[in-house]
Amino acid sequence: MITLRPAQARGVANFGWLDSRHSFSFGSYYDPEHMGFASLRVINEDKVAPGQGFPTHGHRDMEIISYVLEGALEHKDSLGTGSVIRPGDVQRMSAGTGIRHSEYNASQTEPVHFLQIWLLPETTGLTPSYEQAHFTVAEKQGQLRLVGSRDGRAGSVKIHQAVDLYAAMLAVDQSVTHAAPERALWVQVARGAAELNGQLLTAGDGAAVVDEPRLELVGKAAETDLLVFDMAV
């Protein structure tokens, strides 16, 4: 069964400097029908104006992943970590017992466009930690590249939850398949368009997938960027 979460149905927060779309309840947007899916709790599509961003704030007991689509995102945290996240980078921050961080657009002239993703950890009270890895376009083009996993295999960032996170980039009519019986899957189209088992998803659309023994994703735009979350039911 595939349940579509259309882009236009998402929650909206626009503060001028920030234009955000929420796939699940977040902040002042509350929808009891969309509180998350399996261990996936938040997918926010954020566009931040040049020189603007989120000042230092705290998190705890959450796995937070940032996936930049365009521009550059500057990160600083209470672990002493400082980095700039660019397209192709995947950042994982385990908030655990508590962490404080800030996120700013690293450019004074260009916006930054990224997905912020929260997953519930399998265990609370973890020691806070940070990890970042880069995945080239070639690694993702026409294939599902593992970018996050419970065990950090194949160079993916380690997520403290039973989840495999894949990224793919598809051209028109390029296809990928994924078999995941008895698993909960979420597909998020970040840019472009793709058919999921014959159902069209366009930029910003997500889809919950259960009881589907096999996924087939076919690109329907010149450049499609998407994520697949393979999670324990």
**Closest C-alpha to 169, from 141, 205, 133:** 141
pTM for this predicted structure: 0.96
For the segment 145-174, what is each residue's pLDDT rounded down to a tens digit? 999 999 999 999 999 999 999 999 999 999
Tokens describing residue 132: 């970042």
For the segment 17-53, what is each residue's pLDDT rounded down to a tens digit? 999 999 999 999 999 999 999 999 999 999 999 999 8
pLDDT higher than 90, residue 124: yes
Q: List the helix and strand counts (H, then E) for the chain.
A: 1, 22
Position 96 scores a pLDDT of 93
pLDDT higher than 90, residue 205: yes
Tokens describing residue 210: 């259960």
Position 145 scores a pLDDT of 98
Position 56 scores a pLDDT of 83
Q: What is the pLDDT averaged over residues 93-106?
A: 90
Q: What is the pLDDT averaged over residues 180-203?
A: 95
Please give the CATH number for the structural domain made up of 2-231.
2.60.120.10
Are 159 and 150 in contact by the 8 Å Cβ rule? The answer is: yes
Q: What is the DSSP string of 143-168?
A: S-EEEEESS-GGGPEE-SSSEEEEEE
Position 81 scores a pLDDT of 81
Using 50, 70 and 90 to split pLDDT, how confident is the model at 114? very high
Position 55 scores a pLDDT of 82
